[in-house]
Chain A
Amino acid sequence: MLQYIVKRLIYAVPVALAVSVICFSLVQIAPGDPLAVVLPADASQEIIDQTKARYGLDKPLVTQYFLWLGNALTGDFGISIATGRSVSAEIASAIGYSLGLAIFATLIALVVGLTFGLVAGYNIGKPIDKIASAVAISGVSVPSYWLGVVLVVIFSVHLGWLPAMGAGINEDAGLSERLSFMVLPSIALAAMPAGIVTRSVRALVADVLTKEFVNALRAKGLSEFQIFIHVTRNAAPTALTVIGVQLGYLMAGSILVETVFSWPGTGLLLNNAILTRDIPVLQGTTLVLALVFVLLNLVVDITQPLLDPRIKRT
């Protein structure tokens, strides 16, 4: 087991490095001179050269990459062109909001997905399975940003129950008030993973129920509830894997939903960076989110065999 963990950890290093190369090259594919924003249009050649040297742009590309990587490893992603603040400070103040939203959405997806999946898997082919499956595929197909708008129309515009945007940071809000700001964006974000979890749990439960050991348990005289526990235990590791990977997608995929709700997370940060062509912020945020994703996949890969010894560790 230890050997597997070490092997998996070592494998994550080249992946993380490759991710950093791609993030570094984002600046290279961006059109226009990166210095155009800092330098006046009529700057003399001498000043251009000096500035290039200051930003390390006079060095070969490979050297530039390692300088950038060295800085990034110490948490220095450069300065935001739009705000003048350090990129790491911008990310630090935003990432908590995205994480909070992603965890909240993951919990919703897990509860809804497990419930629907179990009900559907136990009743394959019956009307209730058809309904649950229809809801699941709608969840997978719905654009999160549109669902967000629809939720605002229903719960903010018509019913007036929940706030339509923001995170309630500036108000002297209590916990429940703060949570009320999270409800709609979380639901919009949770729809897709909830659908995915439902579909995989449904298939798993249906498969487990056809297994010999379930018949054996019935023959032994176990109650349906005790059998249910066995079925759940068999389906849980896969459900957890699915949800672990989804958490990573939600962290990064929330850009559209955060834009709808003006939620002050990394998604809104990315969106503002795109609108102002703030490449350092785009680059830094992408790197941090991608590394979080790599890390979450690593955690999933390592914990999965711990939860389910049947999974081969290769």
Chain B
Amino acid sequence: MTMISETQNKVQPEAQVHVSRGYWQTVWRNLRRDPVAAVCMIVLALIFAGAIFAPLLTRYDPAVGSIVSRLKPVGTEGHILGTDEQGRDMLTRLLYGGRMSLLMGTVPVLLALVIGGSLGTIAGYFGGRLNTVIMRAADVLFAFPSVLLAVAIAGALGAGVGNALVALTIVLIPPLLRVTESAATQVRALDYVEAAQASGAGSLTIIRVHVLGNMLGPVLVYSTSLLSVAIIMAAGLSFIGLGAKPPTAEWGLMLNTLRTAIYSQPLVTILPGLFIFLVSLSFNLLSDGLRSAMDVS
């Protein structure tokens, strides 16, 4: 066996590489070769890097403005993207704003993934009455339109980033619960899971080895598209005064306060929202790209 593969390796190195490539390596290769997905990954990497390295990229303070240089247009000397209604540099605030907006968009998805994912796996794997209880509870949250539920919870708790994160996490749990539940239910019915049970593997081992591995694909695709929804909702909460508070730089909040400048500096006004749109669009396209990249025949 070893001999044969070694000879093959000498004759056809390409074929050998192909055989040894794992599923996820193939997915990653497909994703990189998809031009749309590749561009999205680059755009997201640039925006995330800009947010993380904001202090290195700008010499201005995001919270300090100057009254004399209020609402300068895009392309002003020293303020390439103009200034806002308090004379603060727009590029600086967009970079720092990314920190808060990206944090508020991604953290709830991760939290909901952990909570909803575990509940969904348990419901799907064990089935029966436990499944009924968990899924009916999720149905109740599903009875609310997501934006309304997020606004109602954040509105009752009061403004603040922490409260907004709680509200967004609660809203994102039910969809992730449903996806993981249906994936776990499907895996449970597979023959090799039954075989693993028959050979004495415990529930935890089976979930860890077989169920989670099989769920990863659909959950990854779904979470990526949820990131797009979460970023819009998170900035939306700040836009209506829940979530980030002034003078914090946050894209949704910036869009709201800049609305007063819509007649004098329309281009500056639409900049923060453009970033929300770019991030949301990139995550959506990336999710589509992942789905087709995983369709490995």
B232 interface residue per 8 A CB criterion: yes
CB contact list, A274-314 vs B, under 8 A: 274-275, 277, 279, 282-283, 286, 289-290, 293-294, 297
Contact B155 A143 (CB under 8 A): no
B1 interface residue per 8 A CB criterion: no
Q: Give the complex CA separation of A142 and B282 in angstroms.
A: 11
In the assembled complex, which residues on chain A have CB atoms less than 8 Å from the CB atom of B242?
A: 274
Contact B285 A137 (CB under 8 A): yes
Q: What number of A-B contacts does a CB cutoff of 8 Å give?
A: 134
Contact B148 A289 (CB under 8 A): yes
Interface readout for A135-159 with B: 1 if CB under 8 Å, 0 if not? 0011011110110011011000110
Contact B277 A273 (CB under 8 A): no
Contact B262 A274 (CB under 8 A): no
Cross-interface CB contact of B276 among A19, A22, A143, cutoff 8 Å:
A143
Contact B281 A149 (CB under 8 A): no
| Least Cβ–Cβ distance between A129 and chain B, in angstroms | 14
Cross-interface CB contact of A145 among B139, B152, B239, cutoff 8 Å:
B239
Interface readout for B251-277 with A: 1 if CB under 8 Å, 0 if not? 010010001001100100110011011
Interface readout for A261-274 with B: 1 if CB under 8 Å, 0 if not? 00000000011011
Contact A274 B240 (CB under 8 A): yes
B41 interface residue per 8 A CB criterion: no
Q: Give the complex CA separation of A275 and B274 in angstroms.
A: 26
B158 interface residue per 8 A CB criterion: yes
Q: How large is the interface on A (under 10, 10 to 19, 20 to 34, 35 or more residues)?
A: 35 or more
Contact A29 B228 (CB under 8 A): no
Interface readout for B143-180 with A: 1 if CB under 8 Å, 0 if not? 11111110111011110000000000000000000000
B65 interface residue per 8 A CB criterion: no
Main secondary structure of the interface of B (DSSP, over half): helix
The interface-forming segment of A1-9, A61-69, A172-180, A248-256 is A248-256
| Least Cβ–Cβ distance between A10 and chain B, in angstroms | 14
B34 interface residue per 8 A CB criterion: no
Contact B152 A149 (CB under 8 A): no
B224 interface residue per 8 A CB criterion: no
| Least Cβ–Cβ distance between A92 and chain B, in angstroms | 18
Q: Give the complex CA separation of A27 and B236 in angstroms.
A: 23
B221 interface residue per 8 A CB criterion: no
Q: Give the complex CA separation of A275 and B262 in angstroms.
A: 22
Contacts A146-B277, A290-B145; is A27 near B156 (CB within 8 Å)? yes
Contact B273 A145 (CB under 8 A): yes
Contact B284 A29 (CB under 8 A): no
CB contact list, A170-197 vs B, under 8 A: none
Contact A31 B232 (CB under 8 A): no
Binding site for A on B (CB under 8 A): 139-141, 143-149, 151-153, 155-158, 228, 232, 235-236, 239-242, 252, 255, 259, 262-263, 266, 269-270, 273-274, 276-277, 280-281, 283-285, 288
Q: Would you list 17 pairs from A and B whose C-beta atoms are within 8 A, ordered by A residue? A: A19-B144, A22-B141, A22-B144, A30-B157, A31-B157, A141-B228, A141-B280, A142-B281, A143-B273, A143-B276, A145-B239, A146-B274, A146-B277, A149-B269, A252-B147, A256-B236, A289-B148
Binding site for B on A (CB under 8 A): 15-16, 18-19, 22-23, 26-27, 29-31, 137-138, 140-143, 145-146, 149-150, 152-153, 157-158, 164, 248-249, 251-253, 255-256, 259-260, 270-271, 273-275, 277, 279, 282-283, 286, 289-290, 293-294, 297
